[in-house]
Amino acid sequence: MTHTTPPAPARVRLDNGGRAPWHPLARQAFLQALDDGWADPRRLHTEGRRAAALLDGAREAAAAVLGARTEEVRFTHSHPTALHAAVLAAAAGRRRAGVDVVVGAVERAAVLHAAQAAATMHGGRRVDVAVDRFGRVDAQAMTDAVASPGVALAALQHANGEVGTLQPVEQVHAAARTAGVPLLVDAGASLGHAAVPPAWDLLAADPADWGAPAGVGVLAARERVRLVPTGPEDPEPWAPGGVSVPAAFAAAVALQAVEADRVAEDARRRALVDRVRGAVTTIPDVEVVGDPDARLPHVATFSFLYVDGEALLTELDRAGIGVGSGSACTASTLEPSHVLAAMGVLTHGNVRIALDRSTTEQDVDRLLAVLPDAVARVREMLGVGGL
């Protein structure tokens, strides 16, 4: 008697926010740049000049997508280091004009912590602007906060990566301009997925989020913004020691590629996300979170009452499906998400999916087929199955 083991179904990877599998063109660009870009771009010989040319080309390509000048774009070692540097250097550059830092309450932890550090350093305070139940910042409250005396800097994300909600960056940028306060826009969850308006004075973005290598970030600052680096003196204060030239080159090539099919991918992924957001409401005691309309096309988030997030994640993982949970954007710990807490929604039993360009309809079907039973099983384990 012979047994044939059926082939294991392929893993469904639905946790593609912040770190996604490499875009095929990123891989190709990386390998190509490895041969020409291994040298230190600061060196003066042929190999160094080739690496410098690749790096300059990458800056130019990223700048074109952002609507910036090449000189305004720098690569950093990661998205959080770009955010740290932007907040600290812009606040230091403005410390004669102000010491407070105004932030949205659901900014990324790196922004909140850097804003706290910068404000403390200069004797000011961090001013958090509340969000509504969808996670959208109160534009009027932010306008008022930015117009207060003593503000050095304001920071507002373009979209919240945890719940997908788009923020009123254009409105807030107009108010900031009027007040003469530079605005940092965190486009870490949106660039490559949504059109980023040129409503920023500083901008940070995350290549690993659009299918490029980890270990590289993007920091753009308009020429008019005065930046004073706060770390030890360094010839490359935004990335001491420099960045990997192949990684930066791959980031730029991948950005061009995802921008080229962004509109089509928006429609395709938005339809899948709408299906998920609709289908999960058939599961009892679920809360679908984030703005239903003004949102990223590829992110869906929901919270289940009487469910432990880690247990649900593990249950789905056993079924072959990888999803994000809790403060997925900031830490491995399943501490209550500061984003969900600020929104006043359930902070536990939380699942976030972020669809990659490679995510198929079948992947989403797999999730929806498995999710109701997984939730029921976790509730049974907690002894709340009958609720």
Q: Which residues bind a second copy (CB under 8 A)?
A: 11, 13, 15, 18-22, 27, 34, 38-40, 42-48, 77-81, 84, 87-88, 109-110, 113-114, 116-117, 213-217, 231-235, 239-247, 310, 313-314, 316-317, 322-325, 328, 330-334
Nearest residue to 137 (alpha-carbon basis) of 170, 104, 185: 104
Catalytic annotation, residues:
329
Q: Which is nearer to a second copy, 297 or 324 (CB)?
A: 324
CA–centroid distance for 265 within its chain: 18
Backbone dihedral angles phi then psi of residue 151, each to the nearest 5 degrees: -90, 125
Q: Which is nearer to a second copy, 18 or 98 (CB)?
A: 18
Q: Are 97 and 251 in contact (CB under 8 A)?
A: no
Q: In angstroms, what is the minimal distance from the CB of 141 to a second copy?
A: 24
CA distances to 6, 71, 277 from 33, in Å: 41, 21, 41
Q: Which is nearer to a second copy, 175 or 257 (CB)?
A: 257
Task: List CB contacts of 140: < 8 A, sequence separation 6 or more.
Answer: none
Q: How far apart are CA 367 and CA 130, in angstroms?
A: 33
* Rg of the Cα atoms in the chain: 22
Q: In angstroms, what is the minimal distance from the CB of 79 to a second copy?
A: 5
Q: Which is nearer to a second copy, 36 or 144 (CB)?
A: 36
CA–centroid distance for 258 within its chain: 15
Q: Which is nearer to a second copy, 173 or 193 (CB)?
A: 193
Q: How far apart are CA 137 and CA 341, in angstroms?
A: 14
